[in-house]
Amino acid sequence: MRVPLMILSALGAGLVAGRKLLGKEISGRKSKAVESAVQEARHRIRADTMLFVSRSFRRFAIATGIKLAILLWLWGLHHFAGMPRPIFATITVMTLAAFMIRDLWINYPAIKLTLTELHRHGWHPKRAVTETIAARVFEEVLVEAGNQKQTRTGAVMLMLAGEDRSQMHHDVATAVADVARVTTWDDIRPYMISAVVRIGTLALIYSASVWILVHY
């Protein structure tokens, strides 16, 4: 009776040791997956931010140019086509009001989303940005991990180590989102500052041009 018990004990000890080794292997793979996903997420965040800033500035510049062209046309009618000053002033005011309404209408979805996120995160802009991006990163990593095909060897390793594939994907996505929450602001800040400077400069030029056109 002692021999079978000794054999079972040896086998049990071997299984425990084997499970520990598999656990370490899977933990190492998980760490590598997190590191790779973090680099990919940060690269994607920077690329998406740069693209968003470029498109936003381009749209703003085009809209501002069209507005100035319309105001210049009205100014030309007043100075060179004999449009009376009161009519010019009235039409200019109505045009500027139409521009403001148009801007509010176009930007309403973005304004609504911004206000919602700010309200959700206690009116802290930095926290709202980082939490929103972290949530998006979590969803993207979770979906991408779930779409990856699992090899038979990997499935066997997870089974022997007592790990769950879905839970592992969730852990990886959570870890990547936590890193994104910390690093996002530093990653996007240069692009945001650039956007504010460029749009602010263009807005200042537009405001000065409107003032000149109205008063001369």
- The arithmetic mean of pLDDT across residues 24-45, rounded, is 82
User: Is residue 147's pLDDT more than 90?
Assistant: no
Stretch 91-120: mean pLDDT: 91
CB 175 within 8 A of CB 36: no
Lowest model confidence (mean pLDDT) among 23-37, 40-54, 66-80, 98-112: 23-37
For the stretch 167-215, pLDDT in tens is 777 888 889 999 999 999 999 999 989 999 999 999 999 999 999 888 8
pLDDT at 10: 38
Give yes or no for a contact between 152 and 137, defined as CB atoms under 8 angstroms apart.
no
Model confidence at 5: pLDDT above 70: no
pLDDT band at 2 (very low <50, low <70, confident <90, very high): very low
Going by C-alpha positions, the residue among 181, 174, 91, 169 that lies closest to residue 129 is 181
Higher pLDDT, 37 or 91: 91
pLDDT tops 60 at residue 160: no
**In angstroms, rounded to a whole number, what is the distance separating the alpha carbons of residues 133 and 180?**
7
Amino acid of residue 188: I
Rounded CA separation 81/79 (Å):
6
Question: If you count them, how many residues does the chain have?
Answer: 216
Confidence (pLDDT) at 51: 92
- Dihedral sign for Cα 195, 198, 201, 204, please: negative
- The ranges assigned to domains in the chain are 21-215
**pLDDT: which is higher, 64 or 32:** 64
Say which residue the tokens 């926290």 belong to: 127
Return mean pLDDT, the chain.
81
